[in-house]
Structure 1
Amino acid sequence: MKNIRNILNSRFKRNGNFFMELSKTLGFKPKRIKFYKTAFTHRSMNLKDSKGNAINYERLEFLGDAMLSAVIASHLYLEVPSGDEGYLTKMRSKIVSREHLNELGKDLNLIDLVESKIPPGQFGDNIHGNIFEALIGAIFLDKGYKFCEKFIYKRVIIPYVDIETLEGKVISYKSLLIEWCQKEKKTFGYNVYEDTGNDDVRHFSVKLSIDEKIVAKARATSKKKAEEKASKRAFFAFQSKMSKMI
């Protein structure tokens, strides 16, 4: 009996702490805590429900992504009546970019609430944005569309969405460079190779060539980051020509 009481007390303390910390982060008290527990459960926990379905944040991430896109699309449609479909799509992409969502997740310190068997230091940056999207999905299921919309306005649109600033924001320098090269009929290539430096973490180096001439070099902890870094350097080298593509 004593062991059962200890288990129940431990579970109550854990859930109680989670509820208090979550309420502090959100600015309101959740009704159905189970949605939020799922939103902060990493797949490494290997949890399943009574029907054998996985319990983790990934399905809520999908739902939250759709909610964010819908609310942001509605805002842009009303805010920029002169914007055509291409403009609105590009602007929405800038707001809900992985980089931006990661920043939002970091600002709210959501990683501190994640339940996982993986040490926090071993997560990639995208965990922050993934959890933020899952949180949006949980809020929608718990509170409904209108409440979820208000939360997105309060946490995303009002503090971060400035149309004029976003118009000059680049989501991916690599995508921008490729688009420019294709439009200008220029050949380009990324020569990526593993860097055998003295770093504790493996690095990759890249040489970016345009029309068979090396225009930028970069080094990072992944091929993707190295390519993006080199593309950014190339962008500033050709900024006067490429800025029209933003």
Structure 2
Amino acid sequence: MFDYLKRTCRKHFGKDREFYAVVHNLLGITPDNIDLYKLALIHRSASVMLPDGNPANNERLEFLGDAVLETIVSDFLFIEYPEQTEGFLTQMRSRIVSRASLDDISSRMGIDKYIVANFNGTYSHKHLNGNAFEALVGAVYLDKGYDFANRFVINGVLRRYVDLSDITTTEVDFKSRLIEWCQKSKRSIHFNTASDEESTMRNPRFLSKIIIDGIELGHGTGSSKKEAEQKAAWAVTQIVGNDDIGDFFMDTIDMSFERYTSGDGKVN
């Protein structure tokens, strides 16, 4: 299988020595298993069909890289901000690994120039660059191990392409953005916020549920109503991939209606 994949990949990338230079220029590392990095740059629209009929592309590496990246960023923020709350760390991580952020990082690194894709109207190219970046993180992890991947992400990516001071000083009002989107889309939105069952006088806790067009799409908890509602709004934005509120959000709501109603607005 790997010999077949190697031969097919060479059709895209030429001689291995040339691609070694590409990886070194992009990531600053010398691969041990060059085929992982080739695979990381193959979008599913240009999938390599293996002899067993299964397609080979970067989706599995993207899945792995997403998890590795989130772990490394979480660890980094935990150490970088020892006095900050869980809510602060969660929002910081969300902004760093958001689709828009990863797309930008990938473009600035020059990864977009080497992605192999074949768009014919069937596949979406949205977040193509960020997905390839995650796949490359997955490749680094498999090729070099977690410690190496950790150093690569922190020193080669976060410290070079992420402005932490800008992220910390830019507050995102998820609730206002969500309300604005619903108004533009002519959809009703309601925040159902009340004291949580675990709330006490000394440790108040609030639970906020977001209802859009009669369907609960997310919830959040916090020590104040404002914090709970912001977390709930943030949770809803994650449905569409890290606060990218758009057409997919509408599709999600529509699918929720199909799941919970008979199509006439009445709950099953």
Q: TM-score range by the shorter chain?
A: 0.5 to 0.7
After TM superposition, list the pairs within 5 Å mapping 1:199-238 onto structure 2: 224=246
Q: CA deviation at 1:82?
A: 1.6
Instruction: Pick closer, same or farther for the CA change 1:19–1:160 going to 2, 3 Å.
Output: closer
How many residues matched?
180
Deviation at 1:29, TM superposition (A): 1.2
Alignment of 1:108-119 (within 5 A): 108-118=109-119
For 1:189, the aligned partner's letter is Q
Matches of 1:64 and 1:187 in 2, distance apart? 31
For residue 167 of structure 1, what is the aligned residue in structure 2? 168
Q: Is the 8 A contact 1:18 1:113 kept in 2?
A: no
> Which residue pairs with 1:136 in the alignment?
137
Question: TM (normalized to structure 1)?
Answer: 0.63
Indicate the residue corresponding to 1:156 in structure 2: 157
TM-superposed CA distance for 1:17, in Å, is 2.5
1:159, distance to aligned residue in structure 2 (A): 2.3
Question: Residue 124 and residue 42 in structure 1: after superposition, are their counterparts in 2 closer, same or farther (change >3 A)?
Answer: closer
For the residue of structure 1 that corresponds to 2:32, the secondary structure is: coil
Provide closer, same or farther for how the CA distance between residues 145 and 188 of structure 1 changes in structure 2, counting only shifts above 3 A: closer
Higher relative contact order (CA 8 A, sep 6+): 1
TM superposition shift of 1:109: 1.4
Query: Which residue in 1 is equivalent to 2:184?
Result: 190
User: Which residue does 1:43 correspond to in 2?
Assistant: 44
The structural deviation recorded for 1:164 is 3.4
Shift in CA distance, 51/65, structure 1 to aligned 2, threshold 3 Å: same
Deviation at 1:28, TM superposition (A): 1.8
Shift of residue 187, structure 1, vs aligned partner = 11
| C-alpha distance in 1 between matches for 2:33 and 2:182 | 52
Letter in 2 for 1:66: A
Match of 2:58 in 1: 57
Compare 137-146 and 122-131 and name the one that shifted more. 122-131
**Partner Cα distance (1:126, 1:149) in 2:** 23
1-structure distance, mates of 2:184, 2:86: 32
**Structure 2: how far apart are the matches of 1:100 and 1:107?**
11
Q: Deviations over 1:178-208 (max 9, x none)?
A: 46x5xxxx9951148xxxxxxxxxxxxxxxx
- Give the Cα–Cα distance (whole angstroms) in 2 for the partners of residues 99 and 54 of structure 1: 27
TM-score (norm 2): 0.58
Going from structure 1 to structure 2, the CA distance change for 1:52 and 1:79 (only over 3 Å counts) comes to same
Give the SS at the match of 1:34. Answer: helix
Q: Does the aligned pair in 1 maintain the 2:61–2:138 contact within 8 Å?
A: yes
Are the aligned partners of 1:71 and 1:152 in contact in 2 as well (CA < 8 Å)? yes
Percent identity, please.
33
**By how many angstroms is 1:158 displaced?**
1.2
Matched residues in 1 for 2:59 and 2:51: separation? 18
Residue matched to 2:176: 177
The whole-number CA distance in structure 2 between the counterparts of 1:113 and 1:191 is: 37
- Mapped pair 1:102 → 2:103: yes
- Residue identity opposite 1:133 in structure 2: E
Further displaced range: 12-21 or 34-43: 12-21
